[in-house]
Amino acid sequence: MKYTDEVYNAAPSSEPERQLYFIDLCSQFVKLKTKELGRPLKYSVITFGCQMNAHDSEKLKGILDKIGYTESDDEISDFVIYNTCTIRENANQKLYGHLGHLKKAKNTNENMIVCLCGCMMQEKHVVEKIKNSYSYVDIVFGTHNIYELAELIYKRLSNDKPVIEVLEAPVNTVEALPTKRKYSFKSGVNIMYGCNNFCSYCIVPYVRGRERSRTPEEILREINCLAEDGVKEIMLLGQNVNSYGTAFIGESEIINRNPDYGFPQLLNDVCNIPGIERVRFMTSHPKDLSDELIQVMADNKKVCRHLHLPVQSGSTEILKRMNRRYTKEQYISLVERIQNNIPDISLTTDIIVGFPGETEEDFLDTLDVVEKVRYDQAFTFIYSKRTATPAAAMENQISPEVIKDRFDRLLKTVNRISAERAERFNGEIKEVLVEEINQKDENLLSGRTDNNLMVHFPGDRSLIGQIIKVKLNECKGFYYMGEVI
Ligand code: 5AD
Ligand code: SF4
């Protein structure tokens, strides 16, 4: 097989036909190589970051499977792809650590292809660094063209130079390509891409672009197919699901805005799909969470009793400078409305410590919110300066010593409250979606309640994928030991 420009140029221009054409060409390459080497060609997808990235990785795996690569259990294989995250500086450092190890491996396997994609690649200075210092990287692409993986692989095969294709903004959205779900019985579904909120510390709007919703028809069609395929639990994904429907993909914001059909209506429609038994969603911005949504959640038992509601800070002054557009009081009042209407809800949150200018008093406000809300779980982050975000240029960056002290105090508080919250289920019988064999003890199964609480219990692996009743016997802080009833 010859990898030529002519073959490349003969590709159909419409999608997904174009990608299917390249998948076919790449699969011929994999077949030949497999024969030549006398062993299957393997791939590894290493994912950093959030649920969105995890879901994107399932799409990458779907394409690689279709091409004929076999998934490897190891990080090093014939096709290694890192799906990167850049939300905090340590996410970036992690990638460079991994890349360092890869160089030696690449020298001993001439067939190896190294590929980088995801949020970090949307940053120009990162791509420059990769070009200059990591010449053994073969393919680089960003968040807007992951569907082009097969095309980019073909380009790399037909050309001896690295292929770097990062789009600044989305040109096309192609959903109708194969995906490989980690679990057969649960799946993430993108309902929107991007973010318009520009919280002053956050790089996401710069690397994921403007908010774009998928149409309800397309989302519901996808979930119907998933349900037919045995999926019971759906996680609706978006950076800010509560503003779903403001602007649709590829069309004008003004023409498409339909105030009568937003996230609450979509959630309700998803719950009505036969076969779907649980619906989760992530992430909610407090400023856009409507009473209508609370009502839909309260009325609909299929909506899991878990809400992730990032607070970021408890101080109104800091929230203002974070550009979060709510006050401490508004957040607490929203939580009260949620807890009053959905008494069994579990709340989780994200908190940033050490935002520029954060005083001890501001920090005490954060602790106060944590005590008042009593989160089931809180993800705590040290503020990380992100290039080009407004907060990076703010004065009064906080010293590492002060941040560490606050971070430790916050962690102590959230851990104590989490453990107290988890205790409330002691002795209860809960419905659990059985997910997998326990990773540490193969005699146990692991699953989740709809509150997102992890439970481990003895049982037969045939239960995996089923929703069963489990008695929560012993609280171990963040998880339970239980027994099947
Ligand atoms: N520094 C620290 N944490 C951050 N997050 C986003 N940007 C930053 C940053 N620059 C956190 C927020 C967000 C979560 C996904 O990551 O808490 O909700
Ligand atoms: Fe970042 Fe704020 Fe958008 Fe979340 S809502 S992705 S924190 S800008």
User: Whole-angstrom Cα distance, residue 299 to residue 337?
Assistant: 14
Structure confidence at residue 251 (pLDDT):
61
Among all ligands shown, which has an atom nearest to the Cα of 51? 1
Verify whether ligand 1 is closer than 6 Å to residue 285 (CB atom): no
Residue whose CA lies nearest to ligand 1 atom number 13: 350
In sequence order, the β-bridge partners of residue 79 are 43, 113
Instruction: At 64, list the tokens.
Output: 């690689």
Residues 342, 305: contact at Cβ < 8 Å?
Answer: yes
Verify whether ligand 2 is closer than 6 Å to residue 285 (CB atom): yes
Q: Is the pLDDT of residue 254 over 90?
A: no
Beta strands in 316-416 (DSSP E): 346-353, 377-382
Residues 348, 309: contact at Cβ < 8 Å?
Answer: yes
CA of 91 to the centre of ligand 2 (A): 17
Residue whose CA lies nearest to ligand 1 atom number 18: 350
Verify whether ligand 1 is closer than 6 Å to residue 456 (CB atom): no
Q: How do residues 431-478 score in pLDDT, each as one tens digit? A: 999 999 999 999 999 999 999 999 999 999 999 999 999 999 999 988
Strand pairing of 346-353 and 306-308?
parallel
Among all ligands shown, which has an atom nearest to the Cα of 207? 2
CA of 201 to the centre of ligand 1 (A): 7
Q: In a mutational test of the pocket of ligand 2, which residue from 240, 289, 311, 322 has the highest number of ligand atoms less than 8 Å from its CB?
A: 240
Residue 301, SS3?
A: coil
User: Whole-angstrom Cα distance, residue 375 to residue 348?
Assistant: 5
Structure confidence at residue 470 (pLDDT):
98
User: Whole-angstrom Cα distance, residue 395 to residue 270?
Assistant: 46
Strand pairing of 192-193 and 212-213?
antiparallel
As a whole-number percent, the residues of the chain with pLDDT over 90 amount to: 86
Verify whether ligand 2 is closer than 6 Å to residue 102 (CB atom): no
Residue whose CA lies nearest to ligand 2 atom number 2: 199
What does the pLDDT average to over 376-402?
94
Structure confidence at residue 386 (pLDDT):
95
Structure confidence at residue 252 (pLDDT):
56
What does the pLDDT average to over 222-229?
96
Residue whose CA lies nearest to ligand 1 atom number 7: 202
Structure confidence at residue 160 (pLDDT):
82
CA neighbours within 13 Å on the CB side: how many for 15? Answer: 13
- The pLDDT mean for the chain works out to 94
Q: In a mutational test of the pocket of ligand 2, which residue from 198, 204, 313 has the highest number of ligand atoms less than 8 Å from its CB?
A: 204
User: Whole-angstrom Cα distance, residue 417 to residue 423?
Assistant: 10
Residue burial 23-34, b: 16+ Cβ < 10 Å; e: rest: bebbeebbeebb
CA neighbours within 13 Å on the CB side: how many for 117? Answer: 28
Q: Is the pLDDT of residue 2 over 70?
A: no
Which atom of ligand 2 is nearest to 239's Cα? 6
Among 350, 348, 342, smallest CA distance to 452 is for 348
Residue indicated by tokens 């557009």: 325
CA of 203 to the centre of ligand 2 (A): 8
pTM: 0.94
Verify whether ligand 1 is closer than 6 Å to residue 383 (CB atom): yes
